Amino acid sequence: MVWLWQNLELVLGLALDHARLSVVPIVVSFIVSIPLGWVASQSRILRTILLTLGGVLFTIPSIALFVTLPIILGTRILDEINVVVALSIYGVAVMVRGSADAFASVSRDVIGSSTAVGFSRWGRFWSVELPLAGPVLLASIRVVSVTTVSLLSVGSLIGVTTLGYLFLDGYQRTFPTEVVIGIAFTVIIALVFDAVLVALGRLLMPYTRALPKAGRASVTRVAAEVTS
């Protein structure tokens, strides 16, 4: 604990960097996955193509992606942008599946009814499908958020300043406290992000609290499948 107080500035600085670098991939994954997921929910063939593509992207190890991206993007190997792009790719790969399931979980009857009362395709998407897909979308973005925060620490291996620096430094100096503080702050950031997402979900989707028990169960079930 003494070490933490003495190095508070370093730790908080790294934590801020860590949080800052995590935000972009999470936001990008969310925005990109929604149209992709909606498209995937419209046709079986597109669903298969998109989910397979997502699966393939996810097989690339993070360090491998961090190293190869500079060559594809033409950036420098130690550039932060590599890590941000790599984590966005992972985020989309994970989230596309959840997003496809989210839109598929919207009852066909409801879509039929909303068309019947005169919604245009565009209006139906914003006012009916998106709000109803919301709970499952939230479940998937929460998984993306946790994974991103955790994976980002690997970035330190290629020299990007994240909390992972504390792991490397602590390990090289045989100083477990530093490693533990690194882990603790990573978990804290993940928890804070998760809490923010849940709070946003409550704020934007007040109707989920009125969801009948069965509806809620199906949300947790789909969430479990997404995370598996």
Partner 1 sequence: MNFFIDALNYIFDPANLTGAKGILPRLGDHLYYSGLATGIAVVIGLPLGLAIGHTGRGRAFVIAISGAARALPTLGLLFFIILFTGLGLWPLVAVLAILAVPPIIAGSYAGLESVNRQTIDAARAVGMTEWQVLWRVEVPLALPLIIGGIRSAVLQVIATATIAGYVGLTGLGRFLIEGLSVRNYTLAIAGAILVAALALLVDGLLALIQLLVTPRGVSRGVTSTAPRTRTPLRRAGASL
199: its two tokens: 């709070």
Question: Of the two residues 81 and 183, which places its CB atom closer to partner 1 in the complex?
Answer: 183
Question: Of the two residues 171 and 207, which places its CB atom closer to partner 1 in the complex?
Answer: 171
Question: Of the two residues 24 and 163, which places its CB atom closer to partner 1 in the complex?
Answer: 163
Burial class, 151, CB count within 10 angstroms (exposed 0-12 / middle 13-18 / buried 19+): buried
Phi, psi (deg, nearest 5) at residue 159: 95, 10
Q: Enumerate binding residues for partner 1 (CB under 8 A).
A: 44, 55-56, 58-65, 67-68, 71, 77, 101, 104-105, 107-109, 111-112, 115, 136, 142-143, 146-147, 149-151, 153-154, 156-158, 163-164, 166-168, 170-171, 174-176, 179-180, 182-183, 186-187, 190-191, 194, 218, 220-225, 227-228
Q: Shortest approach of partner 1 to residue 218 CB, angstroms?
A: 6
Q: Shortest approach of partner 1 to residue 84 CB, angstroms?
A: 17
Question: Of the two residues 91 and 170, which places its CB atom closer to partner 1 in the complex?
Answer: 170
User: To the nearest 10°, the Cα dihedral for 59, 62, 66, 72?
Assistant: 10
Q: Shortest approach of partner 1 to residue 122 CB, angstroms?
A: 14
Question: Of the two residues 81 and 218, which places its CB atom closer to partner 1 in the complex?
Answer: 218
Q: Shortest approach of partner 1 to residue 6 CB, angstroms?
A: 20
Q: Shortest approach of partner 1 to residue 212 CB, angstroms?
A: 13
